[in-house]
């Protein structure tokens, strides 16, 4: 259904795309800049820097594993950019809208659920070059406030997507009643 | 099976011809677009609101049965 074109969405679409790209770029930058790699390694692995030595190979592995999680969020951002693009074109009740909302919700849910997996794998990758007895794996299912919000918003968006699908069907049906 | 084939037929075009009125004129009187009147005439709609039906009957001075037929 065509309604008014949103000028704000015209700006939001490229900004969101840029954020999606920036996520991957910043993550890469952090892993490959020696000064910043320590902080990002602690953040992802949850293991103190004294337990491992950062080498180009384990940094590469760390980047690869964290990129998996970051890519999911980046995909979600691109989906949101696509929604903004539809709004900018005046398309508010398209069939694809509910699917896009659901896809964004799923990407947030996966991002959230991947956290313990990424933490465990990053820890393993960083300490893999240590002697056998000093290799570490850190698994935490603890979820902080931000993580909880992301998880809840993800689940909520999946349900909102279903509601929008029904609303779109009703709007379509209503447009055929004169 | 025979019941499934039955449907509502819109005979608005017949009534318009009887009243010698154009679609555009009707659209102006009842406050809907000419495109919607055309869709209504062709029966390519899912439904018609009582409000619209009332206005059509008022303008064409007819009964709902004069523009809708079940067969």
The 8-class DSSP code of residue B8 comes to E
For position B47, what pLDDT does the model report? 92
* pLDDT (tens digit per residue) in A44-82: 888 887 777 888 888 899 999 999 999 999 999 999 999
Whether A42 contacts A136, CB under 8 Å: no
* pLDDT (tens digit per residue) in B40-70: 999 888 899 999 999 999 999 999 999 999 9
Of the candidate ranges B1-10, B32-41, B49-58, the one whose mean pLDDT is the lowest? B1-10
ipTM of the complex: 0.77
Quickly tell me which residue has 């809208």 as its tokens. A97
Whether A28 contacts A59, CB under 8 Å: no
Work out the pLDDT band at B27, boundaries 50, 70, 90. very high
The span from the CA of B30 to the CA of B10, in Å, is: 17
Check the CA dihedral A25-A27-A28-A34 and report its sign: positive
Q: Is pLDDT at A118 greater than 80 in this prediction?
A: yes
Work out the pLDDT band at A141, boundaries 50, 70, 90. low
Which neighbouring-strand residues pair with B9?
A: B69
**What stretches of chain A adopt beta strand conformation (E)?**
none
A128 CB-near residues (< 8 Å, 6+ apart) = A58, A61, A135
For position A52, what pLDDT does the model report? 79
Residues of chain B contacting A178 with CB distance shorter than 8 Å? 32, 36, 39-40, 45, 47-49, 52
Interchain contact A172–B (C-beta under 8 A): no
For position A156, what pLDDT does the model report? 97
* pLDDT (tens digit per residue) in A30-49: 999 888 888 888 888 888 87
Q: Compare CB distances from B32 to A173, A176, A178 and report the shortest one's residue.
A: A178
CA A132 to chain centre: 34
The 8-class DSSP code of residue A52 comes to -
In a domain, B31, yes or no: yes
State how far the alpha carbon of A63 is from the alpha carbons of A4, A45, A67, A91, A118, in Å: 43, 11, 6, 38, 11
The span from the CA of A27 to the CA of A46, in Å, is: 16
State mean pLDDT over A111-138.
82
Interface test with A, best of B42, B44, B46 (most A CBs within 10 A): B46
Q: Is pLDDT at B26 greater than 80 in this prediction?
A: yes
Q: Compare CB distances from A176 to B32, B45, B52 and report the shortest one's residue.
A: B45
State mean pLDDT over A1-15.
79
Residues of chain B contacting A176 with CB distance shorter than 8 Å? 45-47
Total number of domains constituting chain B: 1
| Residue B35 to chain A, least CA–CA distance (Å) | 11
Which neighbouring-strand residues pair with A165?
A: none
| Residue A178 to chain B, least CA–CA distance (Å) | 5
Interchain contact B57–A (C-beta under 8 A): no
Token reading at B65: 């049965």
Containing domain of residue B54, as a range? 2-66
Q: Taking Cα atoms as reference points, which of A65, A140, A161, A147 lies closest to residue A109? A: A147
CATH code, B28: 1.10.260.40
Rg, C-alpha atoms of chain A: 21
Token reading at A124: 């393993």
Residues of chain A contacting B48 with CB distance shorter than 8 Å? 177-178
In a domain, B71, yes or no: no
Residues of chain B contacting A169 with CB distance shorter than 8 Å? none
For position B3, what pLDDT does the model report? 56
Tell me what the pLDDT averaged over chain A comes to: 87
Tell me what the pLDDT averaged over chain B comes to: 91
Helix (H) or strand (E) holding A156: helix A145-175
Query: Which tops the pLDDT comparison, A140 or A85?
Result: A85
């Amino acid at each position: 259904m065509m309604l008014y074109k949103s000028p704000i969405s015209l700006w939001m679409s490229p900004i969101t795309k840029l954020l999606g790209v920036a996520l991957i770029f910043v993550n890469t930058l952090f892993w490959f800049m020696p000064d910043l790699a320590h902080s990002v390694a602690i953040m992802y692995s949850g293991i103190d820097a004294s337990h491992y030595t950062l080498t180009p190979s384990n940094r590469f592995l760390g980047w690869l594993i964290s990129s998996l999680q970051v890519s999911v969020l980046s995909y979600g951002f691109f989906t949101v950019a696509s929604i903004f693009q539809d709004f900018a074109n005046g398309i508010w009740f398209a069939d694809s809208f509910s699917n896009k909302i659901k896809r964004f919700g799923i990407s947030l849910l996966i991002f959230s659920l991947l956290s313990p997996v990424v933490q465990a794998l990053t820890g393993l990758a960083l300490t893999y070059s240590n002697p056998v007895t000093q290799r570490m794996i850190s698994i935490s299912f603890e979820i902080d406030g931000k993580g909880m919000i992301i998880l809840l918003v993800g689940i909520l968006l999946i349900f909102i997507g279903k509601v929008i699908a029904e609303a779109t069907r009703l709007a379509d049906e209503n447009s055929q009643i004169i | 099976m025979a019941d499934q084939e039955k449907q509502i037929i819109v005979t608005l075009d017949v009534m318009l011809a009887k009243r010698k009125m154009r679609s555009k004129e009707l659209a102006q009187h009842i406050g809907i677009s000419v495109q919607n009147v055309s869709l209504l005439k062709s029966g390519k709609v899912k439904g018609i609101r009582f409000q619209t039906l009332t206005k059509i009957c008022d303008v064409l001075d007819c009964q709902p049965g004069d523009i809708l037929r079940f067969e």
